[in-house]
Amino acid sequence: MRPVVAVALLLIGLAAMAMTFVRLPYFIFRPGTVNALSHRIVVLKGEAFPAAGEVYFTTVRQDSTVNGWEYLWAFVDDADLLVDQESVLGDRSRDENRQFNIELMRVSKSTAEAVALRHLGLDPFVATGVGMASVQDPAAAHLTTEDVIVAIDGVATMHVEELVALVKGRSPGDRIEILIEGLDGDNPRTVVVELAARDDDPTVGFLGIGPQTRWEDVEDLPIDVGIRTDKVGGNSAGLALTLALLEVLTPGELTAGLRVASTGTIDLDGVVGPIGGIRQKVVAARRAGIDLFLVPEHEVSDARDVAGDLRVEGVRNLDEALAVLTELGGNADALALPATSG
């Protein structure tokens, strides 16, 4: 029996070593950090206002070297999320994926700044015409994606909505005069395009472009801020960044003195979008003693599953997030820049 026992122990040892050193094609996402934002916001122009409360963003810790034991443990621990490598990376390498997420954070910071300033009555962008993501017939004979439409039949078209309103209701065969310029604003010229018929409705005129509003930065705003996020990537901090900017740039207590964390992307209209790793972020916030966690509305059920005593509220947009903070005693319904800021 002893040789049999010895062989069995050897096999067990080899299996244990294999489980320890083998690397499986998976990522494990675990609860990460909870990060205060106020000290990360640098007000370069304008006034900053310290507050008793704080806005936090949450992260997920990503383990990309998963061994057999970690793989098995992920099925036991509710705080771990196991995701196959292809779902995370797609056709990107690991380095490309890191750069991709850093770029997402850069865009997220820019968007959050725009949303916060717009809420305070300042718009950091101005529409300067309608560019084209795609061009097909009949427009393709006259326009390219290097052109920007600034007027139709003598009427200014700075936004997509204005262009759609001017073309809507026209019939196939109608001719429209389009004033265009280059992407950099040079080479203005006029072209005339005869509308075709839409495939789905032959009675409706069709220009054949994929329009998108061209936005340019507004110079000399009374507020200029920067946000330090170090090497944190992704775009899930959009809502948190927006709330933190509003807290720092306005007097009073947006958070009613509470420790408020949030997660969710944000777009230029203030709409809060979905994120990954909601359960891991909630666990991180709960462990950090956060008072309130704001999450995208459709993820609130998953978030509350692991929230314990942590208060979790789902929101669809910035206005709903501010309404929750107002209900808790914050001044989120009366945010305003000081008179000296514009």
Give the pLDDT confidence of 122-179 residue by residue, as tens digits: 988 888 999 999 999 999 999 999 999 999 999 999 999 999 999 988 999 999 999 9
CA 72 – CA 283 distance, rounded (Å): 20
Collapse the DSSP code of 305 into the 3-class scheme (helix H, G, I; strand E, B; otherwise coil) and give the result. Answer: helix
Q: Please determine, for residue 194, whether its predicted confidence score (pLDDT) is greater than 90.
A: yes
Q: Please determine, for residue 249, whether its predicted confidence score (pLDDT) is greater than 50.
A: yes
Which residues, at least 6 apart from 133, have a Cβ–Cβ distance to it below 8 Å? 145, 210, 211, 212
Which residue ranges form the domains of the chain, and what is each CATH number?
28-122+221-337 (3.30.230.10), 125-217 (2.30.42.10)
> Among all chains, which residue has been given the structure tokens 């609860």?
31
Question: What φ, ψ does residue 209 adopt, rounded to 5°?
Answer: -130, 155
**Over pLDDT 70: what percentage of the chain?**
83
Of 307, 305, 325, nearest to 315 (Cα)?
325
Q: Please determine, for residue 184, whether its predicted confidence score (pLDDT) is greater than 90.
A: no
- Whole-structure pTM value: 0.74
pLDDT band at 342 (very low <50, low <70, confident <90, very high): very low
Which residues, at least 6 apart from 330, have a Cβ–Cβ distance to it below 8 Å? 53, 252, 253, 254, 255, 256, 258
Count of CB atoms within 10 A of residue 136's CB? 14
